[in-house]
Amino acid sequence: MGIYNDGNVYGVLWNIYDDDGNSTLNYDIKYEQKMTREQIDEVKKEYDKLTLEQTKEIQIKFYTKATTSYEPANSSSFMMLWPGTYLMLEKLFLMGDIVI
């Protein structure tokens, strides 16, 4: 039993927090379909606007579609956030696709 994602990226969310734990910058975009190269490039443009200090403090999550075996009668997929890393985001920018 568990929650299983389909491995595709449908969007990106990142937060940057100050020393007091307050969110100072939030970026959030998601799509109904797997992200295209053009959409990934748009996210990269926003990421490139961040300072070096901000990129060190970033917390990244990816939108993916998931299903659960906890409710077998409800087998439809749903959108959820999956934890990510800076390296996963860089790979997405470089390769145009990742499996999460």
The Cα–Cα gap between 38 and 93 comes to: 10
pLDDT score of 22 = 82
SS3 (DSSP) at 35:
coil
| DSSP tag of 34 | P
pLDDT at residue 75 greater than cutoff 90 = no
User: When comparing pLDDT for 100 and 14, which is higher?
Assistant: 14
54, 16 Cβ separation under 8 angstroms: yes
The secondary structure element, H or E, covering residue 55 is helix 52-57
- Say if residue 74's pLDDT is above 70: no
Residues 14-63 pLDDT 10s: 999 888 878 888 999 999 999 999 999 999 999 999 999 888 889 999 99
* 72-83 as b/e: b if 16+ CB within 10 A: eeeeeeeebbbe
Cα separation, 58 vs 65, whole angstroms: 23
Say if CB 41 and CB 12 are below 8 A apart.
no
Nearest to 13 by CA among 82, 67, 93: 82
Q: What are the boundaries of each domain within the chain?
A: 3-95
- On the question of pLDDT at 77 being above 80, the answer is yes
